[in-house]
């Protein structure tokens, strides 16, 4: 169990227990309904804000809770046990919505956006991915040109989480600001307020899973924002979002660990109550061994994200560890979802069953925040290989 992880403080254990209780009594009972309705439950997001979850890794001076990234990951894992969509709303809201502004924003930008974002009254999004630019961000085609003190942005983005909710307030957009035909593109980041003329949020995607998570394509046609909406230094957009992605992989690994843990808990409960020929199915060795492997996967995934998160908060290099954690945890979630559905049999194929939702949701864990193949490439390079 997450609260048994070696190295947690008493305060962190209490946080994990609090969020776990919230997930069990608030998130889980509503998960099937919102999954069916395919909409983000803003009322639950606001309750998460009241718990201080969106402000966990930020200092008190900006309205945060003064905790650290380990604490954020604990909350993400606890939520993902019950509903991955809710967990990724928090993970993306903090890591992609708030963190770039907190880390690279000016005092004025922080004063304008952070109070609502860290309190959960609003959500932020990060517009990086395009049809031909995801893992290869150098292929970005969205452009921004400076005209008389105003940035004019044209382009499109896709798969942007938290971009079209009723409480979305700002979207960070990456765009080419130098000569698009130059050999090495100059990439910069801009803060685009929701509702800016020319910014069109397309219809939500018809996704296999994560139905409650808000995900949209964006089109930007002549979007004009003030010159001061440049986020960070001009031309530093690429370097800045690399750090964001590395951190995001750690939290994503915690999310995947929560999914693996949730599948284990559901399958363990069912195996203890479902009887066949007078005995619980859990008493049969093949089912018991499936559950044992599920426990081993969840435990290994937890150790991986915890190691990466500890290095992150202590200022140590963590890029390779983040990729290991993301790789191990996403594969654990996929495998545990498959085994849990098998243990449930026909009931595991019903969408009202949390295991079925985890089965649908888990696949994206091997794609989002960098595909499995990208993680393998990063790990191989860390080993001194040229993959």
Q: Where are the beta strands (DSSP E) in the chain?
A: 123-127, 143-147, 150-161, 168-176, 187-193, 199-201, 215-226, 230-231, 275-276, 279-280
CA distance 296 to 257: 11
> Shortest CA distance to 69 belongs to which of 321, 310, 301, 318?
310
The β-bridge relationship of strands 187-193 and 168-176 is: antiparallel
109 and 166 part of one domain: no
**Reported pTM:** 0.94
221 and 270 part of one domain: no
252 and 359 part of one domain: yes
Domain count, the chain: 3
Of 199, 234, 269, which residue sits at a domain end?
A: 234
Is residue 267 in a domain? yes
What's the chain's Rg over C-alpha atoms? Answer: 21
248 and 224 part of one domain: no
**Which residues, at least 6 apart from 125, have a Cβ–Cβ distance to it below 8 Å?**
92, 96, 97, 160, 161, 162, 163, 168, 170, 171, 172
Domain of 290, CATH number, reads: 1.20.140.10
Is residue 56 in a domain? yes
Distances (CA, A) of 299 to 4, 330, 336, 360: 10, 13, 12, 22
Query: Does the pLDDT value for residue 70 go beyond 60?
Result: yes
Report DSSP letters for 233-251, one per residue: STT-HHHHHHHHHHHHHHH
Query: Does the pLDDT value for residue 178 go beyond 50?
Result: yes
316 and 265 part of one domain: yes
Domain of 109, CATH number, reads: 1.10.540.10
Q: Report the pLDDT value the prediction gives residue 3, as an integer from 0 to 100.
A: 43
CA distance 69 to 303: 15
Is residue 387 in a domain? no
**Which of the residues 61, 233, 369, 373 is marked catalytic?**
369
Report DSSP letters for 280-344, one per residue: EGGGSHHHHHHHHHHHHHHHHHHHHHHHHHHHHHTT---HHHHHHHHHHHHHHHHHHHHHHHHHH
> Shortest CA distance to 264 belongs to which of 235, 236, 302, 238?
302
199 and 279 part of one domain: no
153 and 100 part of one domain: no
133 and 21 part of one domain: no
Residues facing 146 on adjacent strands? 151
Q: Where are the beta strands (DSSP E) in 11-167?
A: 123-127, 143-147, 150-161
The β-bridge relationship of strands 199-201 and 279-280 is: unpaired
Query: Does the pLDDT value for residue 135 go beyond 70?
Result: no
Is residue 369 in a domain? yes
Is residue 128 in a domain? yes
Query: Does the pLDDT value for residue 179 go beyond 90?
Result: no
Q: Report the pLDDT value the prediction gives residue 2, as an integer from 0 to 100.
A: 45
Per-residue pLDDT reduced to its tens digit, 302-351: 999 999 999 999 999 999 999 999 999 999 999 999 999 999 999 999 99
Is residue 196 in a domain? yes
The percentage of the chain sitting over the pLDDT mark of 70, rounded to a whole number, equals 96
Q: What is the DSSP letter of 58?
A: S
CA distance 29 to 9: 30
21 and 95 part of one domain: yes
Domain of 133, CATH number, reads: 2.40.110.10
Is residue 75 in a domain? yes
User: Residue 112's pLDDT band (boundaries 50, 70, 90)?
Assistant: very high
Backbone angles phi, psi at 129, to 5 degrees: -65, 140
Respond yes or no: is residue 265 known to be catalytic.
no
Which has more pLDDT, 278 or 18? 18
Of 88, 122, 156, which residue sits at a domain end?
A: 122
- Helix ranges, 160-284 (H): 237-273
Q: Report the pLDDT value the prediction gives residue 145, as an integer from 0 to 100.
A: 95
Of 122, 151, 167, which residue sits at a domain end?
A: 122
Q: What is the DSSP letter of 202?
A: P
Give Cα 34 to chain centroid, integer Å.
19
257 and 370 part of one domain: yes
Q: Report the pLDDT value the prediction gives residue 243, as an integer from 0 to 100.
A: 84
135 and 219 part of one domain: yes
The β-bridge relationship of strands 275-276 and 187-193 is: unpaired
**Which residues, at least 6 apart from 286, have a Cβ–Cβ distance to it below 8 Å?**
none
Average pLDDT, the chain: 94
Q: Report the pLDDT value the prediction gives residue 191, as an integer from 0 to 100.
A: 98
> Span 116-120, mean pLDDT?
97
Is residue 300 in a domain? yes
Q: Report the pLDDT value the prediction gives residue 181, as an integer from 0 to 100.
A: 61
The residue segments making up the domain with residue 163 are 124-234
Query: Does the pLDDT value for residue 109 go beyond 70?
Result: yes
113 and 134 part of one domain: no
**Which residues, at least 6 apart from 367, have a Cβ–Cβ distance to it below 8 Å?**
none
């Amino acid at each position: 169990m997450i609260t048994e992880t070696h190295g947690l403080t008493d305060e962190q254990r209490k946080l994990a227990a609090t969020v776990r209780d919230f997930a069990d009594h608030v998130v889980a009972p509503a998960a099937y309904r919102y999954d069916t309705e395919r909409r983000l439950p803003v009322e639950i997001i606001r309750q998460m804000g009241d718990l201080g979850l969106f402000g966990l890794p930020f200092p008190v001076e900006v309205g945060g809770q003064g905790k650290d990234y380990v604490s954020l990951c604990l909350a993400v894992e606890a939520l993902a046990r019950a509903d991955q969509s809710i967990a990724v709303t928090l993970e993306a809201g903090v890591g992609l919505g708030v963190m770039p502004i907190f880390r690279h924003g000016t005092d004025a930008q922080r004063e304008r956006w952070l109070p609502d974002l860290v309190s959960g009254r609003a959500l932020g999004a990060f517009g990086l991915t395009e049809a031909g630019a995801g893992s290869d961000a150098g292929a970005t085609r969205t452009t921004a040109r400076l005209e008389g003190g105003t940035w004019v942005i044209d382009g499109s983005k896709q798969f942007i989480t938290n971009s079209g909710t009723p409480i979305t307030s700002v979207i960070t957009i990456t765009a080419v600001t130098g000569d698009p035909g130059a050999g090495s593109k100059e990439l910069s980041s801009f803060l685009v307020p929701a509702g800016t003329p020319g910014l069109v949020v397309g219809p939500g995607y018809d996704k296999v899973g994560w139905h409650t998570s808000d995900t949209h394509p964006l089109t930007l046609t002549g979007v004009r924002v003030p010159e001061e909406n440049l986020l960070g230094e001009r031309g530093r957009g690429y370097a800045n979002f690399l750090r964001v992605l590395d951190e995001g992989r750690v939290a994503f690994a915690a999310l995947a660990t929560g999914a693996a843990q949730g599948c284990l808990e559901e399958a363990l409960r069912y195996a203890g109550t479902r009887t066949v020929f007078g005995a619980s199915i859990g008493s049969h060795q093949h089912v018991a061994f499936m559950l044992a492997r599920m426990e081993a996967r969840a435990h290994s995934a937890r150790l991986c994200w915890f190691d990466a998160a500890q290095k992150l908060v202590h200022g140590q290099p963590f890029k390779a560890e983040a990729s290991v954690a993301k790789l191990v945890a996403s594969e654990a979630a996929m495998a545990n979802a498959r085994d849990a559905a098998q243990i449930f049999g026909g009931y595991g194929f019903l969408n009202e069953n949390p295991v079925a939702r985890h089965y649908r949701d888990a696949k994206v864990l091997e794609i989002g925040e960098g595909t499995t193949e990208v993680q393998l490439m990063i790990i191989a390079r860390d080993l001194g290989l040229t993959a």
